[in-house]
Amino acid sequence: MTPLPSTNKAEIPLLQVRDLTVQFPSAKSEQFKAVDGLSLSLGHGETLALVGESGCGKSATALAIMRLTRKPGIITGGEVLLEGRSLLELPEKELQLLRGGTYSMIFQEPMTSLNPVLKAGFQVTEGIVRHKKISRKEAEREAVRLLEQVGIPSPRERYHAYPHQLSGGMKQRVMIAMALACRPKLLIADEPTTALDVTIQAEILELIDRLKSELEMSLILITHNLGIVAERADMTMVMYAGRVMETAPTATLLANPLHPYTRGLLASLPQNSPPHTRLPTISGGDSCNGWDGNGCPFSPRCPGSDGPCRTARPDLVEAETGHMVSCWKAPRP
């Protein structure tokens, strides 16, 4: 096991994940690993970006850290420590005191994450009342301020609206307000701006940046937008088939990607191709879901794969200082 190095060496990391494994039933096999032996470390005030194509295990990792893995999925191994406390061993009642307060999550699907029979404002207020020692009236005023902060027009009116009366973008903003309501130490943001237009995206990201700075809040950012990653992430972790393919300080990874999958992702960006040319693609079919081979899961799509790539799993090793990669062809210590 090789944990992700924290960029702040002077203190104990806020979050430590060691050898996390999440499994789901599969038609191909009895169980497949949606997350396969993942380790990471995140310090106070740091931002870690999780990137990779759909189905690679990013959201499954986030839900496991929150201990919200949906059945039939189960966490079958590993450890998750938040400020030294094991989240996987805590009783549910104690965990509920932490969720939404000490750490919280912006979920990817606002349509299914809000309670359809409760008013939007009540759902924001509920978390504030649970975690802060203030009256309900004060919590309601705080909720209205939050709705205004995340860009909802006429926040007092929207406070009394039901989710079906709000647009998809407004639902997304209500979820963001809920996640930020108690100023958590750790925020997990799973595609937090997918339903928003470009202007509102920028406003939401600036709000998260401001709170992150004010509170020294740590952030795990799940996104497909490598522009956001380049601007905001201290560290970037590239996932494929539930495994970590490469992880490094963001500037290092973008300037010198060592894994062929990372190079393929970066090559497919429009700004990296000449005008009026076909965008490069990663050949082969998606093998992200339920990889059960013995070798590197990317080997069926990798132009440089050979015998060892198809028969043995490469360990995640530190090829350069702070730069780890799981590839037989990458530099090895």
Tokens of 262: 């990372």
Looking at the predicted structure, is the pLDDT value of residue 29 above 80?
A: no
User: In degrees rounded to 5, what are phi and psi of residue 117?
Assistant: -100, 5
Average pLDDT of the residues in 26-33: 73
For 298-302, which contacts have Cβ atoms below 8 Å and span 24 or more sequence positions?
Answer: 298/240, 298/241, 298/245, 298/259, 298/260, 298/261, 301/261, 302/260, 302/261
Instruction: Tell me what pLDDT residue 9 has.
Output: 45
Average pLDDT of the residues in 56-85: 94
One-letter amino acid for residue 12 of the chain: I
Residue owning tokens 């979820």: 175
The tens digit of pLDDT for each residue in 237-256 reads: 999 999 999 999 999 999 99
Annotate 260-287 with DSSP letters as a single string: HHHHHHHHTSGGGS-TTSPPP---S---
Average model confidence (pLDDT) across the chain = 88
Choice between 82 and 286, residue whose per-residue pLDDT is larger:
82
Looking at the predicted structure, is the pLDDT value of residue 196 above 90?
A: no
User: In degrees rounded to 5, what are phi and psi of residue 176?
Assistant: -65, -40
> At CA 230, angle to CA 224 and CA 233, rounded to 5?
85
Looking at the predicted structure, is the pLDDT value of residue 25 above 90?
A: no
Compute the distance between CA of residue 329 and CA of residue 306 in angstroms, rounded to an integer: 10
The tens digit of pLDDT for each residue in 216-227 reads: 899 999 998 888
Instruction: Tell me what pLDDT residue 227 has.
Output: 87
Compute the distance between CA of residue 325 and CA of residue 165 in angstroms, rounded to an integer: 47
For 300-309, which contacts have Cβ atoms below 8 Å and span 24 or more sequence positions?
Answer: 301/261, 302/260, 302/261, 303/260, 304/260, 304/329
Length of the chain: 333
Tokens of 329: 């062809």
Element (H, E) at 77: strand 74-82
Looking at the predicted structure, is the pLDDT value of residue 271 above 90?
A: no
CB 38 within 8 A of CB 243: yes
Looking at the predicted structure, is the pLDDT value of residue 171 above 50?
A: yes
Instruction: Tell me what pLDDT residue 7 has.
Output: 46
CA dihedral 158, 160, 161, 167 (to 10 degrees): 20
CB 333 within 8 A of CB 319: yes
What pTM, to 2 d.p., does this model score? 0.90
Instruction: Tell me what pLDDT residue 6 has.
Output: 45
Tokens of 52: 């990779």
User: Cα 290 from chain centroid?
Assistant: 20
Choice between 299 and 15, residue whose per-residue pLDDT is larger:
15
Compute the distance between CA of residue 255 and CA of residue 290 in angstroms, rounded to an integer: 31
pLDDT interval class at 1 (50, 70, 90): very low
pLDDT interval class at 161 (50, 70, 90): very high
Looking at the predicted structure, is the pLDDT value of residue 286 above 70?
A: no
